[in-house]
Amino acid sequence: MHTPDDNRASWQQVFERIAEYPDTEYWNQWKRMILPILQRAMEQEFDSLFRAGMAMHLIIFSTLDHHGLRDEPRVNLQVMKDWNLRISSSKNNVEFNEPAKFAAVDQSAGFPTLVQYLQQLWEETVPGPIPDRLRS
């Protein structure tokens, strides 16, 4: 069973990996889009509820207690070529498969849309009520 500390450690690993990305125009723009969303999610303490991971430029959230998701539920956050965000739910890698559901939004709608998708993931995968901090 995973603990809130295990989840927080997974988020820390994501931040450390992002910090290693090159200091280029592309990656700096990518970071300016992704980091505020991740930081706001951490301020809401979502890092205690969800495990976070990465696949190159894709941020992945799950309620599972292990790394290396197979055909298991997850929420994906990615920056698209047009600099919009794509937030999706899937049970497989969205780099190679179409997600079950997705929203393409601008950065201002990124966090609220992510919250909606995380609420749905929680409802689908965790027995019991949604934590109050996820209802915001």
Using CA atoms, how far apart are residues 48 and 59, in angstroms rounded to an integer? 16
* Percent share of the chain, pLDDT over 70: 92
The beta-strand segments (E) located in the chain are: 51-55, 58-62, 74-79, 85-90, 101-105
- pLDDT tens-digit readout, 77-123: 999 999 999 999 988 776 777 788 999 999 999 999 999 999 999 99
What pTM did the predictor assign? 0.91
Between CA 46 and CA 59 the distance in angstroms is: 14
Residue 74 φ/ψ, nearest 5 degrees? -160, 165
